[in-house]
Structure 1
Amino acid sequence: MVVKKLSWVGSKKHFVDEISVMKVGEDVVLGRFGGNSTSGQYKNEDGCLIWCDDNQDWEFVILLDAHFSAESAELVISTIEKNEKRFLDIFTLPINSLFKSLNRLVLGIFQSESFIQECENVQGETACLLVFRKDNYLWWFSIGDCLLLLQHPELEKLGEYQQNHRSFYEWVGKESTFNKDVPCYSTGVKELRTGENHIFMTTDGLVECPNAPYNYAKDIYRMLHGIASCEIGVRKLLEDIQSNNVRDSTTIVSWVIQNNKEATIPSDLK
């Protein structure tokens, strides 16, 4: 198995006043903008980890939005990287057992005594969104307020864009909701529709930018609709928030999956 990888935290390079758009593997586009210094920005506490199978069988992405410092994002990325073999072994499992095993692994890591102790020694906390795609299924594990969108014409007709919900006061880190008796998170699995499915992840700088029309997931979809490539679309979004003097940093991960399998439809429409 050949895996193409990228990991980054804003403490390494902050991209303040700078837009970066690049590809990881064949399909996944990563866009980063650290915010405008003229609006008071001077640091970036976002982070991400991207692993892509060289045969394009799967993609695994973690998006992080920390506050107070980037230490919590650094801790999550380093912890996942230490467990790389465990994740890659699960990614080879049959699809009907893979996602249950993936849930157990993530919960086991975040609830482990060693990880909780390490969280006590960092400054600040991070929202954390894990997304994995294999075959015609999309899985996510969401802590906090990063966003996952799935864009397809059949879903748009019914007003469905966002897959997870933004959940506030959930984090991993110093004040972790995984330090409590019961961890707080949401998770789900979505069958991709037949045809072209656009997977889109973002931190909240995009949707909270003043004067930019991206408060709602459908507005992001409408801007991206008809754009020639993910790279062009991601750059356009970042340029828009830059021109609207956004202070908060924004990190976007975007890619398109062509699903040739027949998706589930109501029996009366068959």
Structure 2
Amino acid sequence: MSEFSWVGSDKDFVDELDVSMVEKVAVGRFGGNSSAGQYKNEDGCLVWVNKSADWEFTMILDGHKTASSVKLVVDHFNKNRDEIQKVLMQPASEALRRMDTLILDIFQDPDFMEACRRTTGETACMIVIRKEKYLWWFSIGDCILHVLHPELIAHGERQLNQRSFYEWVGEVNTFEMPVPCYSTGKKELRQGENQIFMTTDGLTECPGVIFGDPQAIENTLKGVSVPEGVRRLLVEVRRKGVRDSTTIIFWSVQIEETATLPSDL
């Protein structure tokens, strides 16, 4: 079991680029350029990898005002780590069904919601789990998830989630509403290599780059190693003088099983 946990208030990476590996998962961090006025980092992430049980659990966060809400969410999930990982040890059919309820319960825990009311600022949060040949995601707010595979790209499919604005966890909390608002989904990965890519919006909203287009990200990642692809993206936004911080989680998984195909093939 390999684990990685980080909040931008612990180390901000302003003017500094870092790519770290958690087993096969690359975590890229750039806190923005001080020359553009940046002085803090309100991103965060959490990565758990279990090679023997064939799963990865990843979380990426993009806070507003302060990083307090980011730290609150990361700490809360670390507190619930054993329960989450116990569920992920089950077969995918059971694990991902149970995850739908478990993640909601974690966000709606009364003690956690009370802590959110006392914090300063709020955060977008995306959770992505790869278990066997399936991908599961849960998104609050505007973080971004791509899956890159030739069969999907041939149909113009790269980005899995719709960015959703005005959703957060923290001082402003979507789970305080009578009907909590978030998006979730499941995806069967295709046979062969699937690249799973998550990012905060510092990458896509950097002036002078076109990374809001998933194909531009795909082109940058093509033909290089996982960490080198992440590094190239971060080098480019640093070169363009981005102010906002950027956090990336990226990994590749090889799926041996055949995937669903239409009946007329």
Q: Which residue of 2 aligns with 1:94?
A: 91
TM-score (normalizing by structure 2)? 0.98
Q: Is the 8 A contact 2:53 2:89 kept in 1?
A: no
* Matching residue within 176, 180, 193 for 1:183: 180
Distance 2:29 2:82 in 1: 28
Q: Using the TM superposition, give the Cα deviation of residue 55 of structure 1 relative to its aligned residue in structure 2, in angstroms.
A: 2.5
Give the CA RMSD over aligned residues.
Answer: 0.9
Instruction: Quote how far apart the aligned CAs of 1:214 are.
Output: 0.7
Given candidates 248, 252, 255, the residue that maps to 1:252 is 248
SS in 2 for 1:205: helix
Task: List structure 1 runs of 4+ shifted beyond 2 angstroms.
Answer: none
User: Structure 1: how far apart are the matches of 2:28 and 2:2?
Assistant: 17
The structural deviation recorded for 1:56 is: 6.4
Q: TM-score, structure 1 length as denominator?
A: 0.97
> How big is each residue's C-alpha offset from its partner over 1:19-61, in whole Å with a ceiling of 9 and x where there is no partner?
0011012x00010000000000000000000000142611000
Unaligned stretches of 5+ in structure 2?
none
1:179-258 aligned within 5 A: 179-227=176-224, 229-258=225-254
Give the whole-Å Cα distance in 2 for the aligned partners of 1:103 and 1:198.
23
Answer yes or no: is 1:103 the counterpart of 2:103. no
Asked whether 1:52 is paired with 2:52, we answer no
**Percent identity between the two aligned chains:** 52
Q: Give the partner amino acid of 1:194.
A: Q
Query: Helix, strand or coil: the match of 2:203?
Result: coil
Q: Per-residue deviation at 1:94?
A: 2.1
- Residues 127-138 of structure 1: pairs in structure 2 closer than 5 A: 127-138=124-135
Q: Deviations over 1:113-133 (max 9, x none)?
A: 111101011100000000100
Aligned residues: 265
The one of 20, 23, 32 equivalent to 1:22 is 20
Deviation digits for residues 136-176 of structure 1 (CA, Å, limit 9, x no counterpart): 00000000000010000111110000011100000000010
Name structure 1 gaps, 5 residues minimum: none
| Cα separation, 2, equivalents of 1:39 and 1:126 | 23
- Select which of 89, 114, 118 maps to 2:115: 118
- The equivalent position to 2:262 in structure 1, one of 229, 241, 266, is 266
Whole-angstrom distance in 1 between the partners of 2:58 and 2:203: 18
- Tell me which amino acid in the other structure corresponds to 2:237: I
Measure how far apart 1:192 and its partner are: 0.5
Which is worse superposed, 198-207 or 110-119? 110-119
1:148-163 → structure 2 map (5 Å cutoff) = 148-163=145-160
